[in-house]
Structure 1
Amino acid sequence: MAASLFLARRSLRLPFPRIVRTSKWCGVPALGVHTTAGRMNTNQQDFEKSQNDLKILKKDPGNDIKLKLYALFKQATQGSCNTPKPGMLDFVNKAKWDAWNSLGSLSKDEARKSYVELVNNLVSSEAPLKDSASLSTREQYDTLQVVSEDNITKIFLNRPEKKNAITLQMYEEIGLALDEAAKDDSVITVLTGYGDYFCSGNDLNNFTSIPPEGKEKMARDSAVILQAFVRKFIDFPKPLIAVINGPAVGISVTILGLFDLVYATDRATFHTPFSQLGQSPEGCSSYTFPRIMGLSKAVEVLLFNKLLTAHEACKLGLVTEVFTDGTFQKEVWERLRAFGELPKNSLAFSKQLIRETEKEKLHAVNVQECERLRERWLSEECMNAIIRFFQKKAKL
């Protein structure tokens, strides 16, 4: 979405169960161990353990991950897709068939290995929620999971069933979480998401009704909220790291230029479709993106709605490093724990030296962007673009 509070994207909903609870969902029959080699036996045991681990996940992994798990399970147990393609109107079974068929001739061993890695990835992402003497979970948030562990403050966007679309409450809670993290004893702060998306942009329910004072007040209040939100990232005093666990849209992309490091899974994408919605950039991206990726590439992304893959974003400098999805969580958190052992004050002072000279400029850009967006939200061009956008969506 075009990074405004005025607009949000609907998330795609497939009629899958909300959370993995039974082996029936992932197509897990009673499996026997038909192996002769010790190595294969160990792999089969890991495979069966992963099936059990999947049943106790606390968070819905999202439809994309569910489809991938289904496909890998079928490939691991039956081999390449060997069933007729369902009809076009059988949406659920067609989605499952497409996922399985997309694996092509992947061997059973490789499928089993990928299945185990993916489940381990999901389990690892929930590891911070386990009880630990060194772990502190902050319970005052409804839309976030905020955890302090290993000298790291971890802020998880926690609406996976809505692809972590940002509500007004979420904007407020992210700001409060950053304020707390700035003052606590942590060495670094990390922002990431639960589920198959990092963040799908703004939640459409933010502005389902216009206040009695009219759309002018809505636009003005939205600009104030957005400006205050972006200011938190500009002024954050510690190393701030984004862990992009899936696709990112709108404001969740534009603020990345204000982070110190950005790590991404290779299935992440980055999209800022401002122009097609009659809007303009925010999150200081009109300043940071040209500096990071060069003017012509920034224009392609911010003006002409180019969607970037993780590797493209890394090549352009928006992403620091890309990791294979199957081992993403394990590798990233191992690295971040090592960062948490570094001297706290040294990191903070070094960041200040690097960032301080640009702060005044960033604040000025933030003000200018929000004022421009306020004007855009009230324009006939923007309203027509929004109407066309949702009319097109309704036809799909």
Structure 2
Amino acid sequence: MPKPCVFDFVNKAKWDAWSTLGSLPKKTIRQNHVDLVFSLSSSSEASNQGKHGVDEKAQDSKGILVTSEDGITKITFNRPTKKNAITFQMYHDIMLALKNASTDNSVITVFTGTGDYYSSGNDLTNLINDAGEIRDVATSAKQLREFVNCFIDFPKPLVAVVNGPAIGIAVTLLGLFDAVYASDRATFHTPFTHLGQISEACSSYTFPKIMGPAKAMKISKELIRKHEKQKLYTANAQECAAVQERLPIEEYTNALKNFLSRKAKL
């Protein structure tokens, strides 16, 4: 293929990657790919095995870690004692990290988690304000919308290295990523129905595209169908119009008469 322009980030990343491979055999290329994925989650693996010896309380003081090396920006959920639950402060920090990564020299941005979990989803403290009262729903929804929009608008390839269980929004966001790698410890859970909640992070649109709509519950199904309703109405109208046009055609009439005639003989 011709060399892509500098603004075609995905194909530019592929072009640069293949250019560095030269005439390497396929077996070596595959191993290099495995080594890359392993290196992206190495901080999580090391934490699991206690290699760094970092105080977990100290880690909790900063919800995410952001590093940039060799053209890769890595954003790591970094609250292992809270199973990497995401606070609104982390929303803000991740949005800032994505904004910076969108204009820096990195080629791709990778998400992973420290410790046993990738992320257990939203921290329940997000529902409580500083006065200990239930947070205004409109404010929470606005923050969530701005947060998800940052993933929708991100111009470079997004990759997730899911090193352990992912729950809630940590799962639903994955539909907006370009690639997802899961370790043998990774699980995916969206407990919205049990909690009386509905889907988020565009999952009412992305998940049916990935998995199909068959398992959706009532409210989620309404959201899913809403995206496709106009297309369904259009298809239905076109089909009915085609039927109406077809009815007067002699060929159709004769075929129908022959069918009815055969049925009468039976």
> TM-score, normalising length from structure 2?
0.59
Structure 1 residue 58: Cα displacement: 3.8
Aligned to 1:321: none
Aligned to 2:93: 173
Q: Does 1:288 align with 2:206?
A: yes
Q: Whole-Å Cα distance in 2 between the matches of residues 205 and 56 of structure 1? A: 31
Q: Does 1:204 align with 2:199?
A: no
Q: Does 1:152 align with 2:65?
A: no
Q: Counterpart of 1:257 in 2: which secondary structure?
A: helix
Unaligned runs of 5+ in 2: 1-47, 228-266
Q: Whole-Å Cα distance in 1 between the matches of residues 138 and 88 of structure 2? A: 14
Aligned to 2:103: 183
Q: Whole-Å Cα distance in 2 between the matches of residues 268 and 178 of structure 1? A: 24
Q: What is the RMSD of the two structures over their aligned residues, measured on CA atoms?
A: 2.8
Structure 1 residue 201: Cα displacement: 1.2
Q: Counterpart of 1:255 in 2: which secondary structure?
A: helix
Aligned to 1:331: none
Q: Whole-Å Cα distance in 1 between the matches of residues 106 and 53 of structure 2? A: 26
Q: Whole-Å Cα distance in 2 between the matches of residues 56 and 248 of structure 1? A: 23
Q: Counterpart of 2:117 in 1: which secondary structure?
A: coil
> TM-score, normalising length from structure 1?
0.40
Structure 1 residue 283: Cα displacement: 0.4
Q: Counterpart of 1:172 in 2: which secondary structure?
A: helix
Contact between 2:84 and 2:118, CA under 8 Å: does it hold in 1? yes
Contact between 1:156 and 1:194, CA under 8 Å: does it hold in 2? yes
Aligned to 2:112: 192
Q: 1:275 to 1:235 in 2, by over 3 A?
A: same
Q: Which has the larger radius of gyration?
A: 2
Contact between 1:160 and 1:195, CA under 8 Å: does it hold in 2? yes
Q: Does 1:279 align with 2:197?
A: yes
Q: Does 1:221 align with 2:139?
A: yes
Q: 1:243 to 1:174 in 2, by over 3 A?
A: same
Structure 1 residue 278: Cα displacement: 1.1
- Describe how 1:301-320 pairs up with structure 2 within 5 A: none
Q: Counterpart of 2:138 in 1: which secondary structure?
A: helix
Q: Does 1:251 align with 2:251?
A: no
- Describe how 1:233-382 pairs up with structure 2 within 5 A: 233-297=151-215, 299=216
User: Which has the higher relative contact order, 1 or 2, with Cα contacts under 8 A spaced 6 or more apart?
Assistant: 1
Q: 1:281 to 1:56 in 2, by over 3 A?
A: closer
Structure 1 residue 54: Cα displacement: 5.4
Contact between 1:164 and 1:200, CA under 8 Å: does it hold in 2? yes
Unaligned runs of 5+ in 1: 1-52, 62-140, 305-363, 366-396
Whichever residue aligns with residue 274 of structure 1, its letter is F
Structure 1 residue 60: Cα displacement: 6.8
For these two proteins, the number of residue pairs brought into alignment is: 171
Q: 1:224 to 1:240 in 2, by over 3 A?
A: same
Whichever residue aligns with residue 157 of structure 2, its letter is P
Describe the superposition over 1:71-106 as per-residue Cα deviations: whole angstroms up to 9, x where unpaired.
xxxxxxxxxxxxxxxxxxxxxxxxxxxxxxxxxxxx
Contact between 2:62 and 2:79, CA under 8 Å: does it hold in 1? no
